[in-house]
Structure 1
């Protein structure tokens, strides 16, 4: 019998199957399965025959199918659903999750939600259909009650960056309000009394927390919150650049900017550079980003420990996968202010 996976002329190549391995090695399919899964009761002689057949046929086990036969049902796959895989925050988060997942022999499948609740539902549904062992999500939907059934039936979910709504689940967040407060206090302590806030879309919970921190710092220093000084719904550098231009063109322009997201910071700096004001208007951004320390001036930021956030989230997920049924917890990871120059520019 010809056990080769090479197709004849005009025929497509076919992957070798466990049946092919069993036929070539002269054993049962059950014995092949036991060898692949490392069952210790298989004799050395049978194991060697099966191993030679696997090598000869270049056989690759179907892990998705074999997971259905595992006693624990694990697929060794988790889903990581991010705001945008191209965002520096998301990229670092993905790296942290992958580092820990590798230690658990688990693959990570990542996708972008693009702040679209419908996209979130689609990707969660796809992850469930692929029988992932768990999900880490930076959510976009306003209500996560739809995940009740998945958690009850054994698919753990850990939220990152934003807490769940309508659902009790583990969440790993940063100290948004405190980080924003520290940023604005830093600007105030360098003499600024006219400080503007620029942030992402207002429906995002982190934006609300950072606005709270901004207002708390103004109140702490006895500074007024002037009308029009909070600009929200800035999802990209272009919209942030336009918002900064509008602030600068106002009758009483701010002397300092607190930009509450890294893409917003980039857009703000673009406008300041275009107008030659990058060394006259102070900037503190929330979230570090590549090349922030190479600009002139270097950009002062409130940095999240994204590696720590991602590591905590995936560790918590694997604890849940292993059977931890303790009540859900919220973890807060502190931020740190990195003074580089832009946040230390004094007012005129």
Structure 2
């Protein structure tokens, strides 16, 4: 194996100089640096990144922990966030390690413990739920953390969120303004802050128009295609005039039910879904949705994380990004 001594000999410098070039621990003239780099290239010498990280306490690696579930199309949402993160990291010479909590609190805790041993410089995390038990006890690593998408209760920290309440409110208000009043609401499991906020937005829009909130029009279930299909069936049979589906995979299930039973959209029922994916543009008619700024969430989150890594002591920030109602032909 090629050693640092071999590099020093070929570059005709001391081993200390090679070490300073690799670890950037002391000024080295540009001409000397180039000699060392050329020697490393010629000898195909690869510095030991782990040893280097242990010496400098800096790995130039960021962790990302998100709740991916195999059957949930929200994976596209989190992957868009990851793309935003990775773009900024590449521009700043950092690498990304992606980990999955699988929407399970025990798995999430275990993944955080793994990150605590991996010498990461910072962590971006989309929490499994809004409780704080998984964080105060587990986040013992010496690195900054930025929370995204969901707001964990009882935690002080930097957060990048989307105004889910406003997004749901504007969607339901748009349905109301079109004359729909018997509006059904389909949601994934409540208790997650994003789901709870979307329900609040739904209720707020109805109350503002003095329309009673009817419990039988609010349907909750696991965020699956099958549940979206079944709950849309129940609401259609309850003769709602419109559906607001606050979860993307359940939107797919709901649309499938309506198409399968030849329910005319928007003549017989209006519908607005959540998040914006290509399949929503090719339904007949194209589906109206609440679009979230996924890429921007990742970009803003990692920019704040890098500030912390570089020593920022400013107060914790909570950035609230706006969603957008995209009107197509479904209401």
TM-score where L is the length of structure 1: 0.85
Aligned partner of 1:40 in structure 2 is 27
Q: Distance in 1 between matches of 2:188 and 2:137?
A: 31
Is 1:317 the counterpart of 2:281? The answer is: no
* Residues 121, 29 of structure 1: alpha-carbon distance in 2 compared, 3 angstrom cutoff: farther
Q: Distance in 2 between matches of 1:278 and 1:288?
A: 21
Aligned partner of 1:9 in structure 2 is none
Q: Distance in 2 between matches of 1:340 and 1:132?
A: 43
Is 1:202 the counterpart of 2:186? The answer is: no
- Report the secondary structure of 1:228's partner residue: helix
TM alignment of 1:182-197, pairs within 5 A: 182-197=170-185
Aligned partner of 2:263 in structure 1 is 277
Aligned partner of 1:8 in structure 2 is none
Structure 1 residue 169: Cα displacement: 0.9
Q: Which of the residues 61, 82, 93 maps onto 2:81?
A: 93
Q: Distance in 1 between matches of 2:222 and 2:244?
A: 13
Q: Which of the residues 206, 226, 235 maps onto 2:214?
A: 226
Structure 1 residue 52: Cα displacement: 4.4
Aligned partner of 1:296 in structure 2 is 284
Per mean C-alpha deviation after superposition, the further-off stretch among 223-232 and 123-132 is: 223-232
Aligned partner of 1:12 in structure 2 is none
Is 1:74 the counterpart of 2:61? The answer is: no
Q: Distance in 1 between matches of 2:145 and 2:261?
A: 46
Structure 1 residue 292: Cα displacement: 1.5
* Residues 237, 17 of structure 1: alpha-carbon distance in 2 compared, 3 angstrom cutoff: farther
Aligned partner of 1:268 in structure 2 is 254
Structure 1 residue 42: Cα displacement: 5.7
Structure 1 residue 227: Cα displacement: 3.1
Q: Distance in 1 between matches of 2:37 and 2:313?
A: 40
Structure 1 residue 206: Cα displacement: 0.8
- Report the secondary structure of 2:216's partner residue: coil
5+ long unaligned stretches in structure 1:
6-15
Query: CA offsets per residue over residues 226-270 of structure 1, 9 Å max, x none?
Result: 232111133122221122122223xx3212100102112111111
Q: Distance in 2 between matches of 1:321 and 1:75?
A: 11
What is the aligned-residue RMSD (CA, Å)?
A: 2.3
Structure 1 residue 57: Cα displacement: 2.7
Contact 1:158 1:169 in 2 (8 A): yes
- Report the secondary structure of 2:271's partner residue: strand
TM-score where L is the length of structure 2: 0.90
TM alignment of 1:111-126, pairs within 5 A: 111-126=99-114
Which structure's CA Rg is the greater one?
Answer: 1
Q: Distance in 2 between matches of 1:149 and 1:27?
A: 49
5+ long unaligned stretches in structure 2:
none
* Residues 131, 81 of structure 1: alpha-carbon distance in 2 compared, 3 angstrom cutoff: same
Contact 1:182 1:337 in 2 (8 A): yes
Aligned residue pair count: 324
Q: Which aligned segments of 4 or more residues in structure 1 are displaced greater than 4 angstroms?
A: 22-28, 42-47, 148-153
